[in-house]
């Protein structure tokens, strides 16, 4: 038997084998136990396949719900951050407790040279 056969091929083969052995039960009485065992495995595989399909659908629904909750949660978290910042003030170091950056002022920019301080281009000499 080839090892690389698809599962569906195996299941089709099993179904045909179980049916054929059951139809010839009078001649193959000694194969009744293995037939029942294979029939049970076949039923379990079919049940698990159905469960797998249901879980895939359920997973998709759960993924949609998670995405919805995360989007809504971000909005509520933004409202809470704004309210905390409003309550304590934008400069309060207490904001760090909420993982919010307190406003500590802006860094000074490099001074912009005035026209008097700006370097003058060297005038070209005419020969």
Tens digits of residue pLDDT in 21-79: 999 999 999 999 999 999 999 999 999 999 999 999 999 999 999 999 999 999 999 99
Look at residue 59 and tell me if it is in a domain. Answer: yes
Look at residue 24 and tell me if it is in a domain. Answer: yes
Contacts of residue 41, defined as CB under 8 A and 6 or more positions apart, other chains included, come to 14
pLDDT confidence bin for 3, thresholds 50/70/90: very low
Look at residue 117 and tell me if it is in a domain. Answer: no
**The pLDDT of residue 122:** 61
Look at residue 33 and tell me if it is in a domain. Answer: yes
Domain, as residue range, for 32: 7-98
Look at residue 126 and tell me if it is in a domain. Answer: no
Question: CA–CA separation, 31 vs 7, rounded Å?
Answer: 23
SS3 content of the chain, % helix, strand, coil (to 5): 65, 0, 35
13 vs 109, more confident: 13
Look at residue 2 and tell me if it is in a domain. Answer: no
Question: CA–CA separation, 1 vs 53, rounded Å?
Answer: 28
**The pLDDT of residue 67:** 96
Least confident of 52-66, 77-91, 98-112: 98-112
Look at residue 73 and tell me if it is in a domain. Answer: yes
Look at residue 78 and tell me if it is in a domain. Answer: yes
Question: For the chain, what is the domain count?
Answer: 1
pLDDT confidence bin for 4, thresholds 50/70/90: very low
**The pLDDT of residue 108:** 79
């Amino acid at each position: 038997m080839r090892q690389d056969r698809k599962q569906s091929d195996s299941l089709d083969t099993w179904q045909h084998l179980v049916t054929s052995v059951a139809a010839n039960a009078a001649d193959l009485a000694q194969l009744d136990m293995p037939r029942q065992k294979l029939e049970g495995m076949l039923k379990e595989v079919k049940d698990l396949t159905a469960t797998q399909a249901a879980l895939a659908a359920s997973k998709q629904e759960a993924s949609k719900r998670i995405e919805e909750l995360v989007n809504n949660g971000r909005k509520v978290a933004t409202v809470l951050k704004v309210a905390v910042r409003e309550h304590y003030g934008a400069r309060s170091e207490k904001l760090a407790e909420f993982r919010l950056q307190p406003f500590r002022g802006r860094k000074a920019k490099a001074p912009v040279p005035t026209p008097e301080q700006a370097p003058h281009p060297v005038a070209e000499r005419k020969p």
